[in-house]
Chains A and B, each alone.
Chain A
């Protein structure tokens, strides 16, 4: 009993630390990455290679007054940033970092991640609505329709995966992908479940970008159109928490992509030992890709974004689902 309790506490602290550190240092990665894409140097003053910059930023944000403008709904205004950050941190509970490195090994882990991930959009909505700002309200309307549109293809691809692997336990799903990179779902399922799996992977990645409101789908922020979208009225740590939540969501998205398609902590070659290092490497490659995309592409139009989901992604993922079902039935 006590060991279980200690284990839980240790994981709790570990997860929060992991999420917070990632959120903080992804800002550094983003700034440094952006700088190099743009032939600049990026942060370099605070600490070696600007490594202490996130701490300085955090200190600055925390020392700022938490400004609550007139006319806002104070409760919603304050609760919204937490509603973005906390569910993202909660989602880490079921992510298997290593073979025995997961806070809880839940049978319905995948379902739980999706359930928590959907709360994030409510936080954005409440924050936008509560801040009584027209730009924020426009952003809220965009975020809601965008998230509804993109949740569907995301879930459809995930369901196809669950059907093929016959499990919703994330750790089990990773275990099934052992024995070299050709056993990863991305490649294995192409030959055993549905030839559309690589496309499903791309759809999942695209929807992950959209769900986390990343460029080129950053409708929630859209800084050249809606000033700062949902965050227009936020300052100080209110903004900081939103920011952290956003990065925590990216980490969750990347981790989930790794677990579902890229074999999680499994090593790419059979003679190399399985380790958490593989998981982190895969995850950070995906995160780096996300950063790369952000600093390369202009923003899409909002209606093009919705069209993409309803007219392209959803039909394809439905076809993928049917093909998978048919394949499993026939073979």
Chain B
């Protein structure tokens, strides 16, 4: 029998990647149709940790929803706090004091570094290297300690308020942050020596997992995934908010469109975040951290409002529809990884399983944020 007579469907098999699988980092399930180790077709199955945050939003007051935003992307929760606080402030027309804006930027960037560090460790773990994970956690722990000292939480932050932040930063935090940045700066070369320049890692990432710009556009990919495809799009620069225009920082862009490019974008972003934090600490103005006239109960005018911030994984958008009462009429959370993951099925076609998992690693998935 010649090869083309054989029924193709008999040569493939279905492999269930997840919901319990070491490489999906959470409860994501991907139904893979495989031909040997080659992926013929992939179908991500979501919803294992779906909590219907958007409905919760409709049943709470504006302020009561703030803790929910800390539970979407639990690795970079402050960006989500920020997005929600900004959207509500935009709707209500609250002015935030400058010091509070600086504190917001500093803490958000710290959180971004923490998130990228964890991604770095977990990603190398996906590739079979265990040790960098522990190093990255070591550094991340310092950030979490710092953030805990001002926010009171380590992961699921609820630090921002409509009109500012609820707790001013103190000298301990400032000196601690400066020390941490010094420490991380000294450790970045080690990370690059140990991981980035490792021949095995380069072979596994260079030219693997291409995601073209055209594909990013069709799927609405944002964040490091998009910047790894050579598009200079970062909400912090594109649609400046808070006090980001005051800072001098670059948007790392790599044009190779491969896994290595996405890896390098995140590594460079950590350096840029450190620059932002340093400038923020230098420029930190005196003053209150809460708007004096911030209303206790929000009742934004009728209408809908959109607000986007650059979270660690891409552009997080929030659409609020207000009917003039003290609860949101509708609250839409646009999570970046939802869009980023949606391109996985197309991107991984014809790839080998380990390469596809490396590609999935570079998407930096956080499942609670996808499922919401």
Assess A/B contact in the complex (Cβ within 8 A): yes
Report which A residues bind B (CB closer than 8 A). Answer: 34, 37-40, 134-135, 138, 141, 215-216, 218, 222-225, 227, 295-304
- CB distance A297 to B129 under 8 Å? yes
* A222 CB contacts on chain B under 8 angstroms: 128, 354
* A216 CB contacts on chain B under 8 angstroms: 128, 200
Complex Cα gap A218–B355 (Å): 16
- CB distance B22 to A224 under 8 Å? yes
Q: Pick the contact of B198 from A34, A223, A297, A302 — CB < 8 Å?
A: A297
Beyond A34-B131, A138-B37, A298-B128, 11 additional contacts (C-beta under 8 Å) are A38-B130, A216-B128, A218-B128, A223-B22, A295-B130, A296-B129, A297-B198, A298-B195, A298-B198, A298-B204, A299-B354
* A302 CB contacts on chain B under 8 angstroms: 37, 352, 354
Answer whether residue B296 sits at the interface, using C-beta atoms and an 8 A cutoff: no
- CB distance A224 to B126 under 8 Å? yes
Residue of A nearest to B21 (CB): A227
The 5 A-B pairs of least Cβ separation, nearest first, read A299-B128, A298-B129, A38-B134, A298-B127, A298-B128
Complex Cα gap A223–B135 (Å): 20
- CB distance B131 to A225 under 8 Å? no
* A138 CB contacts on chain B under 8 angstroms: 15, 37, 353
Complex Cα gap A128–B333 (Å): 44
Question: How far apart are B126's CB and chain A's nearest CB, in angstroms?
Answer: 5
* A295 CB contacts on chain B under 8 angstroms: 130-131
Residue of A nearest to B356 (CB): A225
- CB distance A225 to B353 under 8 Å? yes
Question: How far apart are A61's CB and chain B's nearest CB, in angstroms?
Answer: 21
Residue of B nearest to A296 (CB): B131
Answer whether residue B246 sits at the interface, using C-beta atoms and an 8 A cutoff: no
- CB distance B200 to A300 under 8 Å? yes
Complex Cα gap A298–B128 (Å): 5
Answer whether residue B251 sits at the interface, using C-beta atoms and an 8 A cutoff: no
What would be 21 A-B contacts, judged by CB atoms less than 8 Å apart? Answer: A34-B130, A39-B135, A39-B138, A222-B354, A223-B22, A225-B357, A295-B131, A296-B129, A296-B194, A297-B128, A297-B129, A297-B200, A298-B124, A298-B127, A298-B204, A299-B354, A300-B203, A301-B352, A302-B352, A303-B352, A304-B203
Complex Cα gap A138–B352 (Å): 12
Question: How far apart are A40's CB and chain B's nearest CB, in angstroms?
Answer: 6
Complex Cα gap A243–B194 (Å): 28
Complex Cα gap A141–B13 (Å): 15
Q: Pick the contact of A39 from B15, B134, B355 — CB < 8 Å?
A: B134
* A37 CB contacts on chain B under 8 angstroms: 131
Known: A138-B37, A298-B129, A301-B355. A227 touches B138 (CB 8 A): no
* B21 CB contacts on chain A under 8 angstroms: 227
Residue of B nearest to A302 (CB): B354
Residue of B nearest to A307 (CB): B203
Tell me the residues in window 1-28 of chain B with beta carbons closer than 8 Å to chain A beta carbons: 13, 15, 21-23
* A34 CB contacts on chain B under 8 angstroms: 130-131
Number of A-B contacts (CB under 8 A): 78
* B134 CB contacts on chain A under 8 angstroms: 38-40
- CB distance B354 to A301 under 8 Å? yes
- CB distance A299 to B127 under 8 Å? yes
Residue of B nearest to A137 (CB): B13
Residue of B nearest to A219 (CB): B354
Residue of A nearest to B194 (CB): A296
Complex Cα gap A227–B15 (Å): 12
Residue of A nearest to B208 (CB): A301
Residue of A nearest to B361 (CB): A224
The winner among B21, B23, B130, B357 for most chain A CB atoms within 10 A is: B130
Known: A39-B138, A223-B22. A301 touches B203 (CB 8 A): yes
* A298 CB contacts on chain B under 8 angstroms: 124, 127-129, 195, 198, 200-201, 204
* A223 CB contacts on chain B under 8 angstroms: 22, 128
Complex Cα gap A224–B123 (Å): 10
Tell me the residues in window 103-148 of chain B with beta carbons closer than 8 Å to chain A beta carbons: 124-131, 134-135, 138
Complex Cα gap A89–B131 (Å): 31
Complex Cα gap A246–B128 (Å): 18
Complex Cα gap A207–B124 (Å): 24
- CB distance B200 to A227 under 8 Å? no
The winner among A224, A300, A301 for most chain B CB atoms within 10 A is: A224
Q: Pick the contact of A224 from B23, B135, B201 — CB < 8 Å?
A: B23
Residue of A nearest to B358 (CB): A301
Residue of B nearest to A303 (CB): B352
* B15 CB contacts on chain A under 8 angstroms: 134-135, 138
* B125 CB contacts on chain A under 8 angstroms: 224
Complex Cα gap A153–B22 (Å): 33
- CB distance A299 to B129 under 8 Å? yes
Residue of B nearest to A134 (CB): B15
- CB distance B23 to A225 under 8 Å? yes
* B127 CB contacts on chain A under 8 angstroms: 224, 298-299
* B138 CB contacts on chain A under 8 angstroms: 39
